[in-house]
Amino acid sequence: MADIKPSTPSLFLREEELRKGTELLYFAYRDFIAEPDDALRKYGFGRAHHRVLHFVARRPGLSVADLLDLLSITKQSLSRVLGTLVGQGYVRQEKGTRDRRQRLLYLTEKGSALEAELAAIQRRRMARAYREAGADAVAGFWRVLAGLIDESRREEIERFVNEA
Amino acid sequence: MADIKPSTPSLFLREEELRKGTELLYFAYRDFIAEPDDALRKYGFGRAHHRVLHFVARRPGLSVADLLDLLSITKQSLSRVLGTLVGQGYVRQEKGTRDRRQRLLYLTEKGSALEAELAAIQRRRMARAYREAGADAVAGFWRVLAGLIDESRREEIERFVNEA
DNA sequence: GGTTTTATGTCAGCCATATTGACTTATTTA
DNA sequence: TAAATAAGTCAATATGGCTGACATAAAACC
């Protein structure tokens, strides 16, 4: 076992570079999420509520099943969060016209306002990072992040994030 | 309020670009963390244990206070996790020689083995993303991530991730 | 038209990870 | 010697996941 060192395939694939990416991803994600978390606490909500608000804002009229698929959680986990948001008038549910079993999700005005508040917080931080890093860096940021996504869902997710 | 649109300062700072970064960060982080989470479940551990193993591996002999600072959690939260790791022989605590109040943390052989297993999983995924994206993209990835970190801790974190 | 599948919801219980607050012990520093 | 610091502990609470079992309504199948 001794003396066998892994060959160094190329400069940016060395262990240190990979570790650096892992650590930066951890620290960046943590700080990025912390600010909206604080804002959410004022409403008695958590980040799970934020995710629902975000995706409903992004895809008004999406079904519960589609939301579950995006979030990759169980319906039981979603139910409490979604129930609260509906109960407190942030999200509205409408029966599907094509398939009346579906409950299509929409933000109310109140929901839109909260979502906008949270989105503004994240846009501010993301904009600062983009501005400091520059347009080329941003393109690289996207490319690497996309590469971290599970191969099986990669195309679907890329289509989603690129859609208007 | 009507008709006032935010001026578009530059192409890569438009709302859509900022949203795209936010969403990719969410999806990428989620998938990146899922694989080690699975491996950890075999040992009855969670990602909190992983973080401890990672940072102790990175800074053998770091103090509990330093670890708390890196993790940004309370000592009560750390205590259970660290207690388990110490109790099951993954982490070893040694009294500091300079300051004997300190409990300096080290991985045991068992701890090193587990940490290496987890690190290999993450390296594999990060390497795939780096390879597909290319070296320039990786540099951009780092720059944007660094920009997302709280300004107050930014320098400290950058120093940390860049240190050998 | 009857059966099966699907979309959604709900109840109950469990687990992991975080929090706050109060208090203890050992050791260092002033 | 008194005060501050490093670490640990007890107790209570919140959040966000999970599994399993079951219910209802509507659509799809044959």
Q: CB distance from A153 to chain B under 8 Å?
A: yes
Task: Kindly compute the dihedral angle of the four CA atoms of residues B127, B131, B136, B139, in this order, to the nearest 10 degrees.
Answer: -10
Asked if residue B30 is part of any domain, the answer here is yes
Q: Is the pLDDT at A30 greater than 70, yes or no?
A: yes
Asked if residue B161 is part of any domain, the answer here is no
Coil vs helix vs strand at B1? coil
Mean pLDDT of A18-22: 97
Q: Which of A13, A128, A136 sits opposite B127 (nearest CB)?
A: A13
Residue B43 CA distance to nucleotide D17 C1' (Å): 19
Asked if residue A141 is part of any domain, the answer here is no
DSSP designation for B33: H
Task: Give me the sign of the Cα torsion angle A154, B119, B57, B136.
Answer: negative
- What pLDDT, in 10s, does the model give residues B57-110? 999 999 999 999 999 999 999 999 999 999 999 999 999 999 999 999 999 999
Question: Which of A80, A91, A81, A84 minimizes the C-alpha distance to A115?
Answer: A91
Task: Please answer yes or no on whether A143 and B122 come within 8 Å at the CB atom.
Answer: no
Cα–Cα distance between A4 and A65 in angstroms, integer? 50
Q: Is the pLDDT at B6 greater than 60, yes or no?
A: no
Task: Please answer yes or no on whether A12 and B132 come within 8 Å at the CB atom.
Answer: no
Mean pLDDT of A102-116: 98
Cα–Cα distance between B79 and B150 in angstroms, integer? 26
Task: Please answer yes or no on whether A23 and B161 come within 8 Å at the CB atom.
Answer: yes
Asked if residue A160 is part of any domain, the answer here is no
Q: Name B164's Cβ contacts closer than 8 Å, sequence gap at least 6.
A: A16
A48: which nucleotide lies closest, measuring CA to C1'? D16
Cα–Cα distance between A162 and B96 in angstroms, integer? 53
Query: Which residues in range 68-87 of chain B are in contact with strand D, contact meaning CB within 7 A of any of its atoms?
Result: 75-76, 79, 82-83
**Which amino acid, B151?**
E
Question: Which of A77, A74, A7, A69 minimizes the C-alpha distance to A48?
Answer: A77
A77: which nucleotide lies closest, measuring CA to C1'? D17
Task: Please answer yes or no on whether B135 and A23 come within 8 Å at the CB atom.
Answer: no
- The helix/strand count (H/E) of chain B reads as 7, 2
Q: Which two tokens stand for residue A107?
A: 């933000």
- Which residues sit opposite A19 in a β-bridge? none
Question: Which of B119, B132, B52 minimizes the C-alpha distance to B87?
Answer: B52
**pLDDT tier for residue B4 given thresholds of 50, 70 and 90:** low
Asked if residue B81 is part of any domain, the answer here is yes
Taking CB atoms and an 8 Å cutoff, what residues of chain A touch B12? 130, 135, 138
A98, A61 in Cβ contact below 8 A? no
Measured to protein CB atoms, the chain C nucleotides within 7 Å are: 6-13, 16-22, 26-29
Residue A100 CA distance to nucleotide D24 C1' (Å): 13
Question: Which of B90, B119, B94 minimizes the C-alpha distance to B104?
Answer: B94
pLDDT of residue A9: 63
B3 touches strand D (CB under 7 A): no
Asked if residue A75 is part of any domain, the answer here is yes
Q: Is the pLDDT at A115 greater than 80, yes or no?
A: yes
A53, A111 in Cβ contact below 8 A? yes
**pLDDT tier for residue A13 given thresholds of 50, 70 and 90:** confident
The number of folded domains in chain B is 1
List the domain range (segments joined by +) for residue A72.
11-133
Q: CB distance from B78 to chain A under 8 Å?
A: no
Task: Kindly compute the dihedral angle of the four CA atoms of residues B150, B25, B124, A137, in this order, to the nearest 10 degrees.
Answer: -70
- Minimal C-alpha gap between A30 and chain B (Å): 8
Question: Which of B51, B32, B37 minimizes the C-alpha distance to B90?
Answer: B51
Please report the number of interchain residue pairs, chain A to chain B, with beta-carbon separation below 8 angstroms.
Answer: 204
Radius of gyration of chain A (CA): 20
Coil vs helix vs strand at A127? helix
Task: Give me the sign of the Cα torsion angle A137, B133, A161, A85.
Answer: negative
Coil vs helix vs strand at B89? coil
Q: Which two tokens stand for residue A134?
A: 């520059």
Q: How far is CA A76 from CA A40, A97, B1, in A?
A: 21, 25, 40
CATH number at residue A88: 1.10.10.10
Task: Please answer yes or no on whether B23 and A160 come within 8 Å at the CB atom.
Answer: yes
Asked if residue A122 is part of any domain, the answer here is yes
Average pLDDT, chain B: 94
Asked if residue A145 is part of any domain, the answer here is no
